[in-house]
Amino acid sequence: MHSPVVPPETLKPSRFIQSDDPAIVAFARAHTGGETDPVKVAINLYFAVRDGIIYDPYVRFNAPESYSAKDTLAAGRGFCVPKAALLAACARAVGIPARLGFADVRNHLATPKLLAANGGDIMRWHAFTEMFLDGRWVKSTPAFNLTLCERFGVHPLDWDGQTDSVFQPFDTLDRKHMEYVNERGSFADVPIEAIFATFLEHSPRLLLDDPFAPGSDFAAEAVTSS
């Protein structure tokens, strides 16, 4: 059986996956752990992004920079899309083909403020990273950092570089956490026009300049709401 053809764009920098950005290149090289095996390198990059960048969905969803790997690395925080983009950028920076996967998920443990801005518990265009390792595409989800998972009562997502890693369906108290309801496919870059169109139709409040009140703190509210 032949291995899948790896699209050349999954190794190149793009608008939101800026794998040639000096800060991203430096971050990626600093977190390879000195490994040369692509799977081990990918695992180290996964944990570096998962735990080194704080998950924070209280962003300006109408601002392109909110989806940018470079801007998210500089800020040290971001939501699932730019964190997945950052992991893809790091992978490409060290020669591992990477792309983004998207799905709609039902989120049972979002904060009331996030649910209100989103217009319900279906979070559209949830992102994860797909890396080409050992001849196939493997999914990983670097969104929730370990500290937030512990405070939020959610199992942290590990990844072995060989099996797909997506959100567990239950939290640590066996309550429903995430379920995938619609696969949107794989992309070489953030499909921002399609994302904006979906938000405009289903979650227009997300496209306001400030869908969350000033001073809002997702991590603190997540702990409170759980």
SS3 178: strand
Q: What digits encode the pLDDT tens for the residues 7-66?
A: 999 999 999 999 999 999 999 999 999 999 999 999 999 999 999 999 999 999 999 999
- Structural domains of the chain in order of their starting residue, each with its CATH number: 8-225 (3.10.620)
Predicted local confidence at residue 14, as pLDDT: 98
Judged against a pLDDT cut of 90, whether residue 4 lies above it is answered with no
- The answer to whether 154 and 65 are in contact (CB under 8 A) is no
The structure's pTM equals 0.93
Predicted local confidence at residue 225, as pLDDT: 47
Question: Measured between alpha carbons, how far is 150 from 148 in angstroms, rounded to an integer?
Answer: 5
Question: Measured between alpha carbons, how far is 71 from 131 in angstroms, rounded to an integer?
Answer: 21
Q: What digits encode the pLDDT tens for the residues 78-102?
A: 999 999 999 999 999 999 999 999 9
Q: What digits encode the pLDDT tens for the residues 166-224?
A: 776 656 666 666 788 899 999 999 999 999 999 999 999 999 998 998 889 998 887 65
Main-chain phi, psi angles of 38, to 5 degrees: -55, -40
Left if phi > 0, otherwise alpha if psi is -120 to 50, otherwise beta: which for 216?
beta
Going by DSSP bridges, is the β-strand pair 136-140/122-133 parallel, antiparallel, or unpaired?
antiparallel
Percent of the chain scored above 70 by pLDDT?
A: 92
